[in-house]
A and B are shown apart, each in its own frame.
Chain A
C-alpha cells in the first residue's frame, strides 16, 4: 500500500520534479520543496532547519534515514520522510 501511495505521489508531483525525500539515494543532495503533514510536524521540522528552500544531503537512506541539514544531522523515520518533498540537485553545495 505504501508503495502504491508513493507512486501516486511521485506521479502527481512529476511535473515539478518533486520527489519524496525517501527516493533519494546515499550521498545525494536536494533542495526542500515542501514539508507536508500535521502542522505540528511541519513546525518541528522548521525548527530543525528543514523548510522550503533549505538544502540537505542523505547520509543514510532507509527508515529511519539520516540527513545532513545545514550543520546538523537529523534522523527521520520513513513516514516522516514521505512527507518531505524535495528537488534533487546535481552537485554538492556547501550551505
Chain B
C-alpha cells in the first residue's frame, strides 16, 4: 500500500495573471470558498493529486505585494505565515507570474521569498510573451532566481503535471536563502523591532512594520503593544532615512535592482515594441467619444440581459412556484401547516430562486467583460463621472445593474478593490429603482394620474427613476465624507491585455455566484418570508370568535369548482378567438358563472380583509398609524407597506386584499385596473366622505417605495458581501429614514399645490 501524503500549497500572484484559472485547472470542481471573520475577501481551497501526494491548494486574493494596507490584504500574509489559528501553515508557495510582464510580477515573488517557505515560480502566458517577441531563457532564469521556474499555460491546462511534480519536490526543498539584500542598517533595525514585538515574531512582519508607513502592521502593532511602538518605528525610520536608506523608497529600489540584475541576461526583448492587438483595440475602446459610445451600447446589452433575457426564466419560475403552491393547496388538509407550506415556504423558496436567472446572466456577462479585459477600460471611461460622487469607475456596473435588481448589482460590486468605494457602492445600490418597484409605480401612477393623459403617469414613473439616480450619488458622497471617510489611496488601476475568455471559466463564475447566493442569502430570505407569513396568519380567531382560517378554507373549497369552470370557459373563449369562431354564447356563460359566485367571493374577501386586519401585522399597522398620518396614509396603507418590507412586490397583492379586490393575479392588467378603481374609491375609515387616496398620497407612497429598502434579499446580500450585520442594518435604517422624510415632504408639499 502506498502511503498517502498531504501537502499544503498557497497560490499567490498579481491580479490578471491567470491565478484563478490555474487554481480551477488544479482543483476542478473539488473546491470550496472560505471567509474569515471581519474581512470581505475570500480564499478558496481545493484538492488535487499527483502520484501518491495529495495537495491542499489555497488560492489567496490577487495582490501586487505582500505589504498589507487593510485587514483584507492582511489575510494573504497571515495565511502564508501560518498565523490563522484554525489552520496549519502551508508547506510551500506557488507564485504565478505573467511572462509578458516579468519584472513587475517578480516584485511580489521577491517578497514571497522572504517568508521562509519553499517557493515555486509558475511562469504563465509564455505564449503571449512570445507573440510580443519576448524570449525567456527559463533554465537560466531559474538558476539566477534560485527558484524552480515551471512554464505553464493555465488556460490550456498545459504544464500542470510538471508543476505538480515541482510541488511534490518542494517538500524536500529548503526556503530560498538569497534574494534582494536590504542595507545592513535596515536589517539591524528590523531585528531590534522583532525582539521588541516578541522574540518569536516572524522577521517578515518586523520588516513590514518598518517599511509600510501607515500600513496594517502599524495598526495591529499599536493595538497589541500600544501607541509607543508606533513612535519607536517612526524613530527607526528617521534614523534609516538619515543613513541613506529612505523608507519606503528603499524597498522598490532594492527589489527592482535585484530583479534587473537577475533577469537581464535571460530575457531578450524586441528593440522596438511591436504594435499589438491591444494597442489597436484600445485606440477605439478607450477613445473619449467612440469608446463611450461603444461602452453605452455594451451597457445597454448588460441591462437587456438582466431586464429582458432573464424575464422568461423568471416567469417560468413564478409559474412553477404557483403550480407547487396549488399542488400543496389541493393535496393537504386546510390548516396552518398547509398555509405555512404553500404561502410561507413555497413562496419563500420561490423568492430566492426567482433571482437566479438574473444573477447567473449578469455574472456570465461580467465574467466575460472582465476576462476579456474590457472591464478595466469601462472603468477608465466612467471614472471621470463616478469620481464626482466619490466613487470610482468600477462602481458603474453595480449601480447600473441595480436598476434591474439590487441583488446581482451588489454582488457585482466585488470587482471594486478599494474597500471604502466598494462599501459606498453597496450602500447606495438599493436606491436605484429596481424592476420590483415598477408594479407599484404603475398601479399608483395609473390610478391617480391617468386622468391627465398618458404622459402624466409616464412622467411620474420617470421621476421616480430619476429620484434614485439623483439620491444615490449624493448619498455616496455623504457616506464618503462621513462613515467611510479616510485616506482613500489615489486611484490607480491596471489595464490587462485583451484576450479571448474561456467559456468554461465564464460558466464557472456564473454558477459560483448563483450557488453562493442560494446558500448564503437564501436561508435568511426564507426565514424572513416565513416570519411575515406568520405575522399575517396569526391570530386565526377574531375578537368575535370567528375562526378565519376555518371559514375561509370552507369558502374556498366551495368556490373551487365554479372557479375552475370559469377558468375553463375563459380558455375556451381564448381558443375560440384565436380560431375566429363566434364566442358570444361562451362569453354570456362566463358572465353568468362569474355573477353566480360573486356573493361568495365578496364574503371571502371580507373575511380575508378582517383576518389580515386582525393579524399581528394588521395590529402593527394600526399602532403606527399616528406616525404615518403626516404621510397621508391610513393604517391599511401602513400595513401593506409593513407587509412589503421583506419583498416590495408583495405590496400590490396586499393592497388587493385590504382594498377588497382579492389577491388576484397581481401582474395582469385587468387586475391592476380594477384595483386602481378600488383605490380611487377608498375612503378614510372614519370619514366616508373623504377620499383616502389623493394624488399627494399616491405620490408619497411612490416616493416611499423609491427610497426604502423593502427587500430582505438585498439586506441578506449586503450582509454576505460586507461580512457583518452592521452594514445591512445601517442600510435599512438610513433608507427607511430617507423614505419617510421623502414621503413626508412629498405629501406635505403636494398638499399645498394639488
Contacts and interface: CB of A to CB of B under 8 A. Distances in A.
Interface string B137-178: 000000000000000000000000000000000000000000
A51 B387 contact: no
Interface stretch (B79-87, B331-339, B488-496): B488-496
Contacts of A48: 64, 104, 492, 494
A10 interface: no
Nearest to A73: B495
A70 B103 contact: yes
Interface stretch (A1-9, A11-19, A38-46): A38-46
A72 B101 contact: yes
B249 A37 contact: no
A38 B487 contact: yes
Interface string A38-80: 1111111111110110100001100110100011111111011
Contacts of A40: 69, 212-215, 487, 489
B472 to A, nearest CB: 21
A68 to B, nearest CB: 9
B248 A37 contact: no
Contacts of B379: 75
Contact of B104 (A43, A49, A52, A80): A49
Interface string B101-113: 1111001100000
Contacts of A94: 269-273
B495 A66 contact: yes
A75 to B, nearest CB: 5
Nearest to B379: A75
A91 to B, nearest CB: 11
Contacts of B307: none
Contacts of B271: 94
A51 B252 contact: yes
Contact of A77 (B248, B270, B490): B490
Nearest to A43: B248
B494 A44 contact: no
A72 B105 CA distance: 10
Contacts of A41: 489-490
Contacts of A54: 256
B64 A44 contact: yes
A76 B104 contact: no
A65 to B, nearest CB: 9
Nearest to B63: A47
Given A74-B495, A94-B269, A47 B487 contact: no
Most A-side CB within 10 Å, residue of B247, B248, B493: B493
B104 A75 contact: no
Given A48-B104, A60-B286, A43 B494 contact: no
B494 A80 contact: no
B248 A75 contact: no
A51 B103 contact: no
B273 A76 contact: no
Interface in A23-49: 37-49
A70 B129 CA distance: 13
B214 A38 contact: yes
Interface string B228-261: 0000000000000000000111011100100000
Interface string B264-282: 0000011111000010001
Nearest to B278: A73
Contacts of B269: 94-95
B711 to A, nearest CB: 34
A45 B100 contact: no
B691 interface: no
A80 B487 CA distance: 13
A74 B104 CA distance: 12
A49 B103 CA distance: 8
A77 B383 CA distance: 9
B270 A42 contact: no
Given A66-B495, A94-B271, A51 B490 contact: no
Contacts of A37: 490
A66 B380 CA distance: 8
Contact of A64 (B100, B253, B380, B489): B380
A94 B275 CA distance: 12
A38 B490 CA distance: 9
A82 B490 CA distance: 11
B248 A45 contact: no
A79 B104 contact: no
Given A41-B489, A42-B248, A47-B65, A75 B256 contact: no
B67 A76 contact: no
B376 interface: yes
Contacts of B380: 64, 66, 75
B384 interface: yes
B113 to A, nearest CB: 15
B100 A71 contact: yes
A48 B213 CA distance: 17
B491 A80 contact: yes
Contacts of A43: 65, 67, 211-213, 248, 251-252
Contacts of A52: 249, 252-253
A95 B211 CA distance: 27
A76 B495 CA distance: 11
Contact of A51 (B256, B393, B494): B256
B554 to A, nearest CB: 69
Contacts of B211: 43
Contacts of A49: 103-104, 107
B494 A73 contact: yes
A51 B253 contact: yes
A42 B212 CA distance: 10
B272 A83 contact: no
A45 B492 contact: yes
Most B-side CB within 10 Å, residue of A41, A60, A72, A95: A72
A66 B387 contact: no
A48 to B, nearest CB: 6
Contacts of B493: 74-75
Contact of B286 (A45, A66, A77, A95): A66
A66 to B, nearest CB: 6
Interface string B367-397: 0000000001001100110010000010000
Most A-side CB within 10 Å, residue of B67, B103, B278, B490: B490
Interface of B: 64-65, 67, 69, 100-104, 107-108, 132, 211-215, 247-249, 251-253, 256, 269-273, 278, 282, 286, 376, 379-380, 383-384, 387, 393, 487, 489-495
The 7 closest A-B pairs by CB, nearest first: A46-B252, A39-B213, A80-B490, A73-B495, A71-B101, A47-B64, A51-B252
23 contacts: A40-B489, A42-B248, A46-B251, A46-B252, A47-B64, A47-B65, A47-B67, A52-B252, A64-B383, A66-B495, A70-B104, A71-B104, A71-B132, A74-B495, A75-B493, A75-B494, A75-B495, A76-B490, A77-B490, A79-B490, A80-B492, A83-B490, A94-B269
Given A75-B495, A79-B490, 7 more contacts: A39-B213, A43-B213, A46-B107, A74-B494, A74-B495, A75-B491, A92-B272
Interface of A: 37-49, 51-52, 54, 59-60, 63-64, 66, 70-77, 79-80, 83, 92, 94-95
